[in-house]
């Protein structure tokens, strides 16, 4: 940002536009590429600006799973679900602290978006029916064959190429040009060598995610996650939120984020939460459990950060290990030698270096699984299956993946002011917009990242195209 404009907003007379496009998309992650595809198919020329040398973003780091209740993929497998049922899950996870209309809207748009990605743009999606994520009342997650965001981004890039859409890379947008009504007239990119270029636009879509890559903003809004391992996209510096605020946008749930309680310690490989859902548990350096791990992986991040040494061990068994092999991330964990093996509880103590208390914890979990005793953390052990030796163990840290607070938008992704009036030609989606996870990390339900990224990408791209037409 230039010194004369800490907000990143410049007046129109400072611009020197070399050209102009009807729809300008800032950020080339999942949201940005969906927005560009949608704008183009709705008849508008579109340009994507991406700060990095490759347009990948957090989306490429993700597992790439998108919830889509009652999609044709689910119906083909006989899985029953409805948008209303999904919206109820979202409201329950957030303890009612998110916008119910937006939750239902996104739930309703999940299936049309997943089917659009698959049928119109050739993204190879299928439903994950091997396990159900915590907080979801149906198996409604959809992913690419190896369940990776890299595959998802690869398929989106192929569609971008087929549609002859231009992406300018190494092009961080540093400023927006706007007038006193809040209308955005273009953007300035500042190249790595310091040269600048100004590009005009009729509409702009902010798809440059949140502020997980900004230590300053994290310190200000989410200090409790500062000690966690950062495993998100470092280029997401909160630019969209800064610009939006300066233009008068309503910013909501700024303290909200997606954490993760299962990042392989020191190795940066996420361990799929299925290892907990299917019956695994976590202990701290004292060999003791410290929370109800099954509530969700996001809130478990801060619970781990609060433990001695800021780490935990995940304990599960061979059955769970085998079930997770369909996921590339888990194959990466195996290849990276993160997963330790123990024939007995005694051996678990030896390989983890944890105190003997671990054996008592294993015995307690066994008893809970047999329906004996009550877990003091309130976990319902009847959902998973009892663990049977041999065991598997992995040391993990709590991680920050991405932030969930941002600009309030309407159902088309149009950015709103506090009085609910819309800014003239500005749209936002994905991590740049307010999510549906409530005010903190405990409201994050698996899929709350890519659902708003893909749905608002599709809807904002279409609305921006219709506006310029
Ligand atoms: C390990 C991991 C696993 C995850 N798994 C899932 C999952 O399975 N399901 C799910 O729903 N969510 C998941 N998430 C969350 C999900 O990845 C994000 O919510 C989602 O990718 C956000 O998409 P986006 O397009 O808004 O942001 P991004 O994909 O981060 O894209 C933003 C882009 O904007 C660019 N950019 C930033 N600033 C500028 C600027 N000033 N100018 C130009 N470009 C800029 C960035 O370089 C980036 O390419 C996961 C996250 C992680 C880290």
Ligand 1 centroid distance, CA of 343 (Å): 40
pLDDT at residue 292 in the model: 97
In which element (H, E) is residue 321 found?
helix 318-323
Tens digit of pLDDT for each residue in 93-120?
A: 999 999 999 999 999 999 999 999 999 9
Mutate to test the pocket of ligand 1, among 57, 256, 405, 436 (most ligand atoms within 8 A of CB): 57
Binding site membership of 63 for ligand 1 (Cβ less than 6 Å): yes
Mapping DSSP onto H, E and C, the string for 16-68 reads CEEEEEEEEEECCCHHHHHHHHHHHHCCCCEEEECCCCCCCHHHHHCCCCEEC
Ligand 1 within 6 A of CB of 465: no
- 88 touches 136 (CB < 8 A): no
Nearest CA to ligand 1 atom 4: 62
pLDDT at 7 over 70: yes
For the chain, how are helix, strand and coil distributed in percent, rounded to 5? 35, 20, 40
Output the CA torsion 416→100→430→419 (10° steps).
10
- DSSP letters spanning 164-220: T-EEE-S--EEEEEE-TT--EEEEEEE-TTS-EEEEEEEEEEE----STT-HHHHHH
Measured from the CB, is residue 30 less than 6 Å from ligand 1?
yes
**Whether the CB of 51 sits within 6 Å of ligand 1:** yes
405-451 confidence digits (pLDDT tens): 999 999 999 999 999 999 999 999 999 999 999 999 999 999 999 99
Task: State the Cα–Cα distance between residues 208 and 19, nearest whole angstrom.
Answer: 22
Residue nearest atom 17 in ligand 1 by C-alpha distance? 59
Q: In angstroms, what is the span from residue 131 Cα to ligand 1's centroid? A: 24
Check whether 4 has a pLDDT greater than 80. no
2 band by pLDDT with thresholds 50, 70 and 90 = very low
Distance 198 CA to ligand 1 centre (A): 25
Q: Which atom of ligand 1 is nearest to the CA of 173?
A: 42
Beta bridge partners of 66: 142
Closest-lying ligand 1 atom to the alpha carbon of residue 147: 8
- Domains, the chain, in order of start with CATH, read 9-256+404-468 (3.50.50.60), 258-400 (3.90.700.10)
pTM of the predicted model, to two decimals?
0.96
| pLDDT computed for residue 447 by the predictor | 98
**Best probe residue, ligand 1, of 449, 455, 459, 461 (max atoms within 8 Å of C-beta):** 449
- Confidence check: pLDDT of 381 > 80: yes
How far does the centroid of ligand 1 lie from the alpha carbon of residue 115, in Å?
A: 21
Closest CA to 455 of 57, 68, 71, 44: 68
27-63 tens-digit pLDDT: 999 999 999 999 999 999 999 999 999 999 999 999 9
| Cα–ligand 1 centroid distance for 143 (angstroms) | 16
How many Å lie between the centroid of ligand 1 and the Cα of residue 378? Answer: 33
Furthest C-alpha separation in the chain: 73
Q: Is 175 in the pocket of ligand 1 (CB under 6 A)?
A: no
Q: What are phi and psi of 215, to 5 degrees?
A: -60, -35
Q: What would the pLDDT profile of 69-91 be if each residue is shown by its tens digit?
A: 999 999 999 999 999 999 999 99
CA-nearest residue, atom 41 of ligand 1: 173
Instruction: Choose between 391 and 4: higher pLDDT.
Output: 391
Judge if the beta carbon of residue 447 lies within 6 A of ligand 1. yes
């Amino acid at each position: 940002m230039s010194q004369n404009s800490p907000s990143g907003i410049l007046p129109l007379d400072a611009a020197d536009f070399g050209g102009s496009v009807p729809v300008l998309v800032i950020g080339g992650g999942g949201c940005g590429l969906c927005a560009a595809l949608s704008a183009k198919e709705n008849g508008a020329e579109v340009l994507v600006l991406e700060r990095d040398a490759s347009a990948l973003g957090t989306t490429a780091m993700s597992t790439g799973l998108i919830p889509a209740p009652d999609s044709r993929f689910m119906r083909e497998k006989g899985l029953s679900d409805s948008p209303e049922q999904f919206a109820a899950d979202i409201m329950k996870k957030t303890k009612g602290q998110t916008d119910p209309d937006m939750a239902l809207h996104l739930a309703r748009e999940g299936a049309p978006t997943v089917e659009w990605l698959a049928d119109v743009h050739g993204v190879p999606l299928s439903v994950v029916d091997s396990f159900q994520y915590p907080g979801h009342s149906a198996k409604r997650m959809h992913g690419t064959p190896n369940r990776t965001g890299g595959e998802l981004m690869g398929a989106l890039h192929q569609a971008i190429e087929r549609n002859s859409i231009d992406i300018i890379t190494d092009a961080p947008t540093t400023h927006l040009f706007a007038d006193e009504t809040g209308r955005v007239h273009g953007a300035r990119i500042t190249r790595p060598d310091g040269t600048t270029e100004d590009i005009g636009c009729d509409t702009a879509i902010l798809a440059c995610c949140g502020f997980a890559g900004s230590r300053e903003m994290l310190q200000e809004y989410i200090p409790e996650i500062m000690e966690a391992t950062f495993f998100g996209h470092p280029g997401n510096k909160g630019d969209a939120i800064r610009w939006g605020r300066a233009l008068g946008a309503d910013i909501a749930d700024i303290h909200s984020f997606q954490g993760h309680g299962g990042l392989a310690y020191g190795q940066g490989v996420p361990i799929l939460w299925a290892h907990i859902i299917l019956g695994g548990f976590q202990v701290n350096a004292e060999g003791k459990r410290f929370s109800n791990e099954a509530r969700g992986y996001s809130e478990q991040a801060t619970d781990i950060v609060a433990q001695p040494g800021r780490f935990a061990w995940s304990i599960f068994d061979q059955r769970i290990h085998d079930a997770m092999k369909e996921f590339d991330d888990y194959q990466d964990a195996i290849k990276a030698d993160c997963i330790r093996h123990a024939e007995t509880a005694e051996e678990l103590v030896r390989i983890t270096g944890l105190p003997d208390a671990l054996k008592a914890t294993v015995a307690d979990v066994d008893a809970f699984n047999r329906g004996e005793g009550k877990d003091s953390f309130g976990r319902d052990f009847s959902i998973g299956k009892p663990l049977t030796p041999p065991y598997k163990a992995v040391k993990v840290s709590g991680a920050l993946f991405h932030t969930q607070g941002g600009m309030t938008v309407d159902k088309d992704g149009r950015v709103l002011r506090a009085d609910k009036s819309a800014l003239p030609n500005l749209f936002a989606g994905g991590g740049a917009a307010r999510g549906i996870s409530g005010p903190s990390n405990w409201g994050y339900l698996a899929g709350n990242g890519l659902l708003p990224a893909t749905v608002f990408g599709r809807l904002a791209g279409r609305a921006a195209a219709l506006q310029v037409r």
